Structure 1
Amino acid sequence: MKVLIQRSYFKEGTNGALFINGQFLGFAIELPWVNNQRTVSCIPEGEHTLKARFSTKFGHHLQVLEVKNRSLILIHAANDAKQELQGCIAPVSQLTGIGKGTHSKVLHQKLVSLCYQAFDRNEHVQLIIKS
């Protein structure tokens, strides 16, 4: 399965359109590009593997693997990148500004459900990020 984020970069944050196997799913918000610096930057464009992850803080969510010079990059619910993200990615149902959106939990649950179904079918789930 392929998850694509088509990014647009801004000084205040990064917005993206989110697709699964070519079908539009919603949007993604991230921190601005700050040369891949930990906790303050979105991750570099490229291809990454997604895997299932669980924590008490985020419940069921996704981890982005193979990120150069970074670790523990997650896809989890958040509606404001600057307030709630530290280099992670948040799916949102609607964009309300740069790095901001609404109804993240709803879209996050849908994305996690689709990815977990693919994992159950022993499919490789690939995240592709490009501008």
Structure 2
Amino acid sequence: MELVLKRSYFEKGTNGALFINGNLICFTIELPWKDNQRNVSCISEGTYEIVARHSHRFRNHLHVLGVSGRSLILIHPGNDALKELRGCISPVSQLSGIGKGWSSRGALNKLLALCHQAFERKEKVLLTIKS
């Protein structure tokens, strides 16, 4: 299964729309592009594998693998990129501004349901990020 994240870059954040087979799943928020710098930038455009992950802090969420020069890039809930993200991606149900959105947990749950169906079919889940 391939997820496609189409991004728009702004000085104070990055907004995106996440698609599967051309169908909109949810929107995304991220930090602004700052040359892939750890903790202050969104990650580089490209294609990455996604796997399931669980932690006490975020509960069920997703892990983006193979990001050059970066580690532990997650897809987890958050509604304000500058306050809640350190390079990760947060799905949101609706955008409310640059790097801001609403109902992140609901958007993540929708995305998790689709990804877990693919995992159960033993499919790789890929994320392609582009502008």
| Alignment TM-score, normalising by the size of structure 2 | 0.98
Partner of 2:70: 70
Q: What is the total number of aligned residue pairs between the two structures?
A: 131
Counterpart-to-counterpart distance in 1, 2:59 and 2:22: 27
Counterpart-to-counterpart distance in 2, 1:55 and 1:118: 21
Counterpart-to-counterpart distance in 2, 1:70 and 1:102: 27
Q: How far did 1:25 drift?
A: 1.0
| Cα shift readout 1:43-99 (whole Å, capped 9, x = no counterpart) | 000000000101010011000001000010000010000000000000001000000
Partner of 2:46: 46
Partner of 2:128: 128
Q: Are positions 1:112 and 2:112 aligned together?
A: yes
Q: Would you identify which runs of 4 or more consecutive aligned residues in structure 1 move more than 3 Å?
A: none
Q: How far did 1:11 drift?
A: 0.4
Q: Are positions 1:89 and 2:73 aligned together?
A: no
Q: How far did 1:117 drift?
A: 1.1
Q: Which runs of 5+ in 1 are unaligned?
A: none
Q: How far did 1:22 drift?
A: 1.8
Q: How far did 1:21 drift?
A: 2.4
Counterpart-to-counterpart distance in 1, 2:89 and 2:103: 14
Counterpart-to-counterpart distance in 2, 1:22 and 1:125: 16
| Alignment TM-score, normalising by the size of structure 1 | 0.98
Q: How far did 1:113 drift?
A: 1.2
Counterpart-to-counterpart distance in 1, 2:85 and 2:21: 26
My pick for the range that moved more, 105-114 or 18-27, is 18-27
Counterpart-to-counterpart distance in 2, 1:16 and 1:23: 14
Give the superposed CA RMSD: 0.6
Letter in 1 for 2:7: R
Letter in 1 for 2:49: T
Provide the identity percentage.
60
Q: Which runs of 5+ in 2 are unaligned?
A: none
Partner of 2:5: 5
